[in-house]
Amino acid sequence: MFNPRVLVAEFIGTFILVFGGCGAAVLASDFGVGTNGTSLGIGFLGVAFAFGLTVLIGVYALGHVSGGHFNPAITIGFVAVGRFDPLQAVGYVVAQVLGGILGAGTLFAVASGVDGWDPGTFASNGYDEWSPGGYNLAACFLIEVVTTAIFLIVIMGATARLASPAATGMAIGLGLTLIHLVSIPVTNTSVNPARSTGPAIFAGGDQLGQLWLFWVAPIIGGVLGTMIYHYLVSAPEDRVPVGPGA
């Protein structure tokens, strides 16, 4: 049976991640130029920290309710190593995607409240001509696999029994910040199919057509990361389930 409270927690957490992280990219990354010629926006450095902060606050606020996945790649990665129930995972993924869509829709409604607003790619992820740095499909696929694998290793280490619970959110949030610092120029950083789905739906066009990569690559990376960590830490006392009641 699905526990509605944990699904609502996953929905809210993913909403916060997409609205907060993508909101920083859409509303604040480039806010014009000041009188002295300097940019008034937060730039990609600020966007990277915004995504890290959304996960950090989500883990501390809702992690004790649902485990704080907020990402289908995390949920499926846990399933791959037997740390999460496959049936429960279906509910998690649906809740995450719906939360991401509502987060993107709310952001779209806010951002479009300015006359002449051009949504552009609307914080979507992309490759080839839609990559911020013009990176090809192979490079974008590789970086999404590698960075998601790294993210899952960090998550599993931060939630292990021997880790400090108080530092869990900080480690995961800073890990996601680092990943964004590296990969924003390549794909605009996904590592999360739910984060990619919401903006792509509202951007439409090629952004929606390229969405497949930002499901396939993060899921492969998520499974790879959990398997690597599972291999490295094989003692049961070093592992703790991540999910409802964790």
- pLDDT for 112-154, tens place per residue? 999 989 999 999 999 999 999 999 999 999 999 999 999 999 9
pLDDT (average), residues 77-103? 96
Give the pLDDT of residue 238: 47
Residue written as tokens 């993107």?
104
- Judged by DSSP in three states, 242 sits in coil
pLDDT band at 32 (very low <50, low <70, confident <90, very high): low
What mean pLDDT value characterizes the chain? 91
Three-class SS of residue 39? Answer: strand
The third-level CATH classification (topology) of the domain covering 4-112+123-238 is Glycerol uptake facilitator protein (1.20.1080)
CB atoms near residue 222 (< 10 Å): 29
Q: Residue 239 — very low, low, confident or very high, per pLDDT cuts 50/70/90?
A: very low
pLDDT in tens, 49-81: 999 999 999 999 999 999 999 999 999 999 999
Task: Determine the residue type at 155.
Answer: I
- Rg of the chain over Cα atoms, rounded to whole angstroms, equals 17
Q: Decide if 55 contacts 173 (C-beta within 8 A).
A: yes
Q: Which residues contact 70 (CB under 8 A, 6 or more apart)?
A: 10, 13, 14, 16, 17, 55, 58, 96, 99, 192, 194
Predicted confidence band of residue 99 (pLDDT cuts 50, 70, 90): very high
Is 59 in contact with 169 (CB distance < 8 Å)?
A: yes
Does residue 116 or residue 107 have the better pLDDT?
A: 107
Which of these, 6, 18, 28, lies nearest to 197 by C-alpha position? 18
